[in-house]
């Protein structure tokens, strides 16, 4: 292989591609809530399992089966769902003149914004799927009583810890574990939550992972994640990677296309889809009663 110097365009292009991927990985916040698996199909089918405990069919009972009697019968039910792959793509163009003469580093800024654009589009879609468009039909849903919102004018009425515990309990009632789960927040509700004295004084709250992929701390058995993809006045408790899956047909890919003396194009794309597998492992908290 030929030796290349630091000025070679092939090295510059490779560095740009690494930088975009690096920026994007820092920007993704919602994927960490999901199980991630690969796919090579355009359409992905999956099955939503009923969350309720099984009961014996007919008039039979699991308890008190007589001697020599047949066992009562129970059957798990599933609903088949299908989802189609979605392509996420973005590109930016930097003119040769801007690259050479601009007072700001247009290459670095373009890399950051292209990466952020792809990551934000993926995160927006994940939130839309998990929250069912803020119109829950399958996931758990709990509303904060009017006058007790996290930003209520009556400070004494704010009780986010109880609201979060109520949301956790809805998941546990449906037989899903909530340990190592997540609490998804918008930036506004992050401020309302962390500014609450009950949260500030919670002995189990800590922030050793502050700002890493949106993680701002942990309490009540949940990792707190803040994202602009989360709709303001809503929050969400999600069981640890049980609720949904990100099916990745093609990972984030970046190329740099050079048109010497004219422009440089930075292009990024990925292909995947979010599947809501176990909706009862999610509770949407509505903080919109004012």
User: Stretch 86-112: mean pLDDT, rounded?
Assistant: 84
- Which residue has better confidence, 7 or 261? 261
User: Stretch 238-244: mean pLDDT, rounded?
Assistant: 89
Which stretch of 101-105, 139-143, 180-184, 231-235 has the lowest confidence by average pLDDT? 101-105
How sure is the predictor about 3, in pLDDT bands with cuts at 50, 70 and 90?
very low
Q: 270 has which bridge partners? A: 88
Instruction: List the CATH code of the domain at 9-51+79-286.
Output: 3.90.1690.10
Q: In the predicted model, is pLDDT for residue 6 greater than 50? A: no
Q: In the predicted model, is pLDDT for residue 81 greater than 50? A: yes
Which stretch of 173-177, 248-252, 267-271, 285-289 has the lowest confidence by average pLDDT? 285-289
Q: Which residue has the tokens 């089918």?
A: 45
Tens of pLDDT along 215-230?
777 888 888 999 999 9
Compute the distance between CA of residue 57 and CA of residue 89 in angstroms, rounded to an integer.
51
- Which residue has better confidence, 10 or 27? 27
Tens of pLDDT along 120-152?
999 999 999 999 999 998 899 999 988 888 888
With 0-12 / 13-18 / 19 or more C-beta atoms within 10 angstroms meaning exposed / middle / buried, residue 76 is exposed
pLDDT value at residue 236: 96
The model carries a pTM of 0.78
């Amino acid at each position: 292989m030929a030796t290349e110097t630091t000025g070679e365009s092939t090295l510059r292009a490779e560095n740009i591609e690494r930088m975009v991927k690096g920026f994007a990985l820092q920007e993704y916040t919602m994927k960490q809530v999901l199980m991630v698996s690969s796919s090579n199909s355009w359409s992905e089918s999956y099955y939503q399992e009923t969350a309720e405990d099984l009961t014996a069919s007919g008039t039979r009972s699991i308890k008190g089966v007589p001697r020599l009697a047949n066992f009562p019968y129970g059957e798990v039910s599933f609903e088949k769902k299908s989802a189609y792959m979605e392509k996420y793509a973005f590109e930016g163009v930097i003119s040769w003149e801007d690259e050479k003469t601009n007072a700001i580093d247009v290459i670095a800024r373009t890399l950051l914004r292209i990466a952020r654009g792809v990551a934000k589009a993926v995160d927006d879609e994940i939130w839309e799927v998990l929250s069912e468009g803020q119109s829950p039909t399958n996931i758990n849903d709990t509303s904060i009583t009017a006058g007790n919102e996290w930003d209520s004018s009556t400070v004494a009425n704010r009780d986010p810890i109880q609201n979060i515990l109520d949301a956790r309990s809805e998941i546990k009632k449906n037989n899903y574990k909530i340990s190592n789960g997540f609490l998804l927040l918008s930036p506004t509700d992050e401020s309302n939550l962390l500014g609450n004295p009950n949260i500030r004084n919670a002995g189990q709250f800590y922030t050793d992972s502050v700002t890493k992929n949106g993680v701002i701390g942990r309490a009540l058995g949940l990792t707190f994640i803040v994202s602009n993809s989360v709709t303001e006045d809503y929050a969400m408790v999600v069981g640890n990677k049980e609720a949904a899956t990100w099916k990745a047909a093609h990972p984030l890919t970046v190329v740099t296309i050079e048109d010497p003396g004219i422009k440089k194009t930075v292009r990024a794309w990925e292909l995947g889809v979010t599947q809501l597998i176990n909706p009862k492992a999610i509770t949407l908290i509505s903080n919109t009663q004012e």
